[in-house]
Amino acid sequence: MSEPPPARPAARKPLVERTEQAVLVVLALAVVAGVAYRAASYWRLGAEPLEPIPPASLTYRLNVNAADWTTLALVPGLGKTLAERIVDERKVRGGRFESLDELTAVKGIGEKTLARLRPYLFIGEPDAPGEPVEMLEGP
């Protein structure tokens, strides 16, 4: 006689039922569609434009007789070269300027440049620090 057919292994229960699989697929598709829609609307419309902030900042006036060239170079419109020239001219004058008008003796600083620099500078004793001033409108 013949042998009986081998026994079939017992059917294992799936980890996720068919209906649960369908729900997960639908949710995954919804998430992907939402991300795609958001990305498409961003690229189509572009980023939201930002409103410009009016230029205003707290300004600190520097003592021309005390500031080194690295500090003076931070003044808007001054830069490294003019700052070094101011320090060199200060040394020639014995370590101090008597008025801001004397800065016109520095090569590269004329009346127009001096007018732009005045809000940021003052003349004080060589050991006096700078002084904070009120909010000034930007350039």
- 3-state helix vs strand vs coil in the chain, percent to 5: 45, 10, 45
Which residue, 129, 1, 2, 12, is CA-closest to 61?
A: 129
What is the per-residue pLDDT for 129? 61
Provide the whole-model pTM: 0.53
What is the per-residue pLDDT for 3? 76
Q: Where are the domains of the chain?
A: 16-48, 56-137
What is the per-residue pLDDT for 135? 46
Let me know if domain 56-137 sits in CATH 1.10.150.320.
yes
What is the per-residue pLDDT for 8? 73
Phi-psi group of 73: left, alpha or beta (phi > 0 → left; psi -120 to 50 → alpha; rest → beta) = alpha
What is the per-residue pLDDT for 5? 74
Which residue, 127, 107, 130, 104, is CA-closest to 116?
A: 104
What is the per-residue pLDDT for 15? 76
Backbone phi, then psi, for 136, in 5-degree steps? -115, 145
Q: How far apart are CA 134 and CA 25, in angstroms?
A: 62
| Residues 133, 135, 138, 139, CA torsion sign | negative
What is the per-residue pLDDT for 91? 93
Q: Token pair 């961003």 is at which residue?
A: 42
Sheet order of strands, 131-137 included? 121-122, 56-63, 131-137
pLDDT tens column, 33-44: 999 888 877 666
User: Which stretches in the chain have pLDDT values below 70?
Assistant: 1, 10, 42-49, 53-59, 127-139
pLDDT tens column, 40-56: 776 666 666 677 766 55
Q: Which two tokens stand for residue 10?
A: 């017992």
